[in-house]
Amino acid sequence: MNEQTVENGAVQGADLEQQAALFRREFTAIRNEVEKVIIGQARVVGSVLTAMFCGGNVLLEGVPGLGKTELVKALSRVLELDFSRIQFTPDLMPADIIGTNVMANKENEGGSGGGYRIEFRKGPIFTQLLLADEINRATPKTQSALLETMQEKTVTVSGRTYQLELPFFVLATQNPLEQEGTYPLPEAQLDRFMFKVNVPFLEREGLNEVVNRTILKRSQPIGKVIDGKRIMELGKILEQVVVTDSVRDFACRLVLATHPHSEFASDEVKNFVNWGASPRAAQALIKAARVKALAEGRVHVAHEDVQAWAVEVLQHRVLLNYDGQAERIDVAQLVEQIVGNLIKM
């Protein structure tokens, strides 16, 4: 290795360190701004921001009234993204989401007669930040209308494909499946959510602060921190964060450990799991770990960064068998056990 190569490597390393410091400042500024509105949900806010910087979609699950919708609205303001909201109901149709072809009058040209033409009217999916509110209250047919868009960032209607403006994110909320009037999401759609985030009920201090800021009108205004173009620029920094072979293999073993027939599967997985996480989960673990490293000012990923997001990445991708459902196995706890077992190996 010559002196020029060493010098170039040092310059690149110093530049990455600077970019990591910048990423950390902006990530922290966004999180602090959102937390002016979303009280007592630091983990939830951090999870959603992490997924968004990876270009991923997020499924937020919790009982009504916990601020899931307000979180998405706050993000649209802080990140200055075009925002649309779709309230999912049992009678919602796919065309209500993606749009439809309609017959419109032709404009008269040169005083000639009119006529009709087919025109595509875009639906609310043509935005940058789409809130799919209570997504599991719509039928599976309507839920599946989002499949192409969540993966490809495109919409195809009547053989024509439309490219959505980037960045594009789907942030969906759903009520617990035990509630009446809900439909489980198809496995293919669940896999397209990078994170599933459980939104817990507030503690006493957080609940008091919510009442203080809303009912007593002591809320804090929030403003723009960055825009969509800057999100895309910061996302490119992730590709430069160092991931060693050991860390990558740990993420892969973690995903394999969710499969009952894998050599890494625990007795609990073998007894209660029907199918494990997909390769998308391994990709999501590495991407999320890179964001965590940058958010803490580091340019390399540690095993702990992968462990930190295991529950959010894996819990919705692990499907229980009949015995697991009968025993009411908590998948989040099962994922934590899997992580613990791998650490001991």
Whether the per-residue pLDDT at 219 is higher than 90: the answer is no
Three-point CA angle 177, 61, 165, nearest 5°: 120
Q: What pLDDT is stored for residue 332 in this prediction?
A: 92
Q: What pLDDT is stored for residue 5 in this prediction?
A: 42
Mean pLDDT (the chain) is 84
Average pLDDT over residues 156-179: 83
Ranking 137-146, 273-282, 323-332 by mean pLDDT, the lowest is 137-146
What does the block give as tokens for 125? Answer: 């999916």
Task: CATH number for 241-345: choose from 2.60.40.10, 2.60.120.10, 1.10.8.80, 1.10.260.40.
Answer: 1.10.8.80
Q: Which range is most confident: 1-15, 93-107, 213-227?
A: 93-107
Q: What pLDDT is stored for residue 194 in this prediction?
A: 93
| Residues 60/173, Cβ–Cβ less than 8 Å | yes
User: Could you give the residue range(s) of every CATH 3.40.50.300 domain in the chain?
Assistant: 21-90+125-235
Ranking 1-10, 113-122, 271-280, 302-311 by mean pLDDT, the lowest is 1-10
Q: CA–CA distance from 103 to each of 116, 171, 181, 253 (Å)?
A: 6, 32, 35, 54
Q: CA–CA distance from 163 to each of 75, 166, 287 (Å)?
A: 23, 9, 24
| Of 172 and 103, the one with more pLDDT | 172
Q: What pLDDT is stored for residue 111 in this prediction?
A: 46
Q: What pLDDT is stored for residue 9 in this prediction?
A: 43
Cα distance between residue 244 and residue 302, in whole Å:
9
Q: What pLDDT is stored for residue 257 in this prediction?
A: 93
Q: What pLDDT is stored for residue 160 in this prediction?
A: 84
| Residues 188/317, Cβ–Cβ less than 8 Å | no
For CA atoms 209, 170, 243, 2, give the dihedral sign.
negative
Q: CA–CA distance from 84 to each of 124, 164, 212 (Å)?
A: 6, 13, 29
Average pLDDT over residues 52-60: 91
> Containing H/E element for 245?
helix 245-256
Q: CA–CA distance from 185 to each of 38, 144, 255 (Å)?
A: 27, 9, 21
Whether the per-residue pLDDT at 285 is higher than 60: the answer is yes
> Containing H/E element for 55?
none
| Of 161 and 119, the one with more pLDDT | 161
The predicted-structure confidence for 239-270, as pLDDT tens digits, reads as follows 889 999 999 999 999 999 999 998 888 889 89
Average pLDDT over residues 281-301: 92
Whether the per-residue pLDDT at 223 is higher than 90: the answer is no
What does the block give as tokens for 1? Answer: 């290795």
Q: What is the dihedral of CA 195, 310, 237, 16, to 10 degrees?
A: 160
Q: Is 21-90+125-235 assigned to CATH 3.40.50.300?
A: yes
Whether the per-residue pLDDT at 225 is higher than 80: the answer is yes
**Residues linked to residue 297 through DSSP beta bridges, in sequence order:** none
Q: What pLDDT is stored for residue 21 in this prediction?
A: 87
- pTM across the whole model: 0.85
Average pLDDT over residues 139-144: 84
Average pLDDT over residues 215-230: 76
Residue 299: what are its φ and ψ, rounded to 5°? -110, 15
What does the block give as tokens for 106? Answer: 């032709």
Ranking 7-11, 83-87, 167-171, 174-178 by mean pLDDT, the lowest is 7-11
Q: What pLDDT is stored for residue 181 in this prediction?
A: 65
Whether the per-residue pLDDT at 4 is higher than 50: the answer is no
DSSP category for residue 134: T
User: Could you give the residue range(s) of every CATH 1.10.8.80 domain in the chain?
Assistant: 241-345
The predicted-structure confidence for 86-135, as pLDDT tens digits, reads as follows 999 888 898 888 888 777 776 644 445 567 777 778 889 999 999 998 88
Amino acid in the structure at residue 229: K
Whether the per-residue pLDDT at 315 is higher than 70: the answer is yes
Average pLDDT over residues 1-17: 53
Average pLDDT over residues 305-315: 94
